[in-house]
Amino acid sequence: METSEKKKRIFSGIQPSGELTLGSYMGAIKNWAAMQDEYDCLYCIVDMHAITVRQNPADLRRRTIAQLAQYIACGLDPEKNILFIQSHVPQHAELSWVLGCYTQFGELSRMTQFKQKSQQHADNITAGLFTYPVLMAADILLYQADAVPVGEDQKQHVELCRDIAQRFNGVYGDVFTLPESFIPKLGARVMSLGNPMNKMSKSDPEGCVYLLDKPEDIRRKFKRAVTDSETAVRFDPEHKPGVSNLLTIYCAATGKDIAEAEAEFAGQGYGVFKPAVADAVVELARPIREETERLLADKGYLESVYRQGAQRAQSLAVRTLSKVYRKLDFVVPK
C-alpha cells in the first residue's frame, strides 16, 4: 500500500450514452489500461452527467451496466482500478453544490460544449446542462486527481476545474490538488468515417464504429469510408483528412507507426487499404466483444464490481468532502 500512495492519481469518466465507440477506445480506454500499473486510477461511469439531456430510464440502466462490462473487457482490471458508478457516491453531488458557489456565471456561459448542446437541445436547456462543468470539477477534485485523461473537447472543462480549485484554495488554503489534462498523442481524436472533419460520434451512426459491432458491420462501414479522388495512402490531415483518419485508426489498431503504414500500402490504392483497416479493427474488437458478452451473462460478478468500486471511491471522497466542510466551518454532526 505504501508504494500505491506514492503513485499519481488519475480520474476519468465516460457517459453511458450508448455503446462505446472505436474513438472512445482508441482515444481514452486503451490508454487507461496502459496506465493502470503506473498510476492510481479511478474510472467512473458518469450517469449523473447523462441526465443533462432526456434519457429513457431503462436504457440508461442497461447502458450503464453494459459500459462497466466493456471497461473490463477492454482491459481495465477491477483490482488495479477503482471502477464505479457516479450516482453510487453521493459526495459528487454534495461537492458540486459547494463548488458551484465558487464558480462565476460568466465562466459557465463561455463553455463551448454548453453552447453546442444548448443548440442541439433547444427545447430542453436545463440548469444541469449549464452547470455540468461544475459537477465535472467535483468529480475530479473529490479524488485529488493529479491528471485527467481527456479529449481536446473536454480540455476547457479541466481548465475551469483548475480555476475553481485555485479560487477555493486561495481562500481556504491547499484543499484541492490542481489537475493536469492528459491528452494521448495517437488516436486521441478519431474522426467520423463519413465526415472526417468531424469527431467520430454516436450521433452519426454510419460514420461511427462501435466496439460491439459485428465484423460484417465494421467492414461495411470502412468500405463506405470517405477518402479522396487520389489513390496514394499518405498522412496529410489538411489535404487528405479521410485517408489520414484511416491511417490513424490502422496504426492505433496494429501498433505500427505512420511511416510503416504508408510504406506498407505504397502503390496499392484504397481498394487494398480500406479492407486492411477494417480487418485490423475487426481483430481489435473481436476479443472485446466476446468478453463483454460473457461478462453481461454474469450479473452477480458485475454487481460485485460496482459495489466494491463504490465503497473504495467513497472512502476517498469522504476525506475530501470532510476537509471542505471543515474549511467552510459547517457544523458537522459528531
Catalytic residue ranges: 117, 199, 202
108 CB contacts (<8 Å, ≥6 apart)? Answer: 114, 130, 131, 133, 134
How many angstroms separate the CA atoms of 288 and 24, rounded?
A: 13
The phi and psi torsions of 268 (rounded to 5 degrees) equal: -100, -20
What are the cell numbers at 128? 444541469
β pairing state of 81-85 and 147-149: unpaired
Cell for 129?
446542462
The three-class DSSP label of residue 21 is: strand
What is the separation of C-alpha 7 from the centre of its chain, rounded to a whole number of angstroms?
21
Residue 137 burial (CB count, 10 A)? 28
Q: Which strand ranges, in their side-by-side order, compose the sheet holding 81-85?
A: 81-85, 40-45, 9-14, 147-149, 180-182
User: DSSP string of 90-150?
Assistant: THHHHHHHHHHTTS-HHHHHT-HHHHHHHHHTTT---HHHHHHHHHHHHHHHTTT-SEEE-
**Cα gap 34→38, rounded to integer Å:** 8
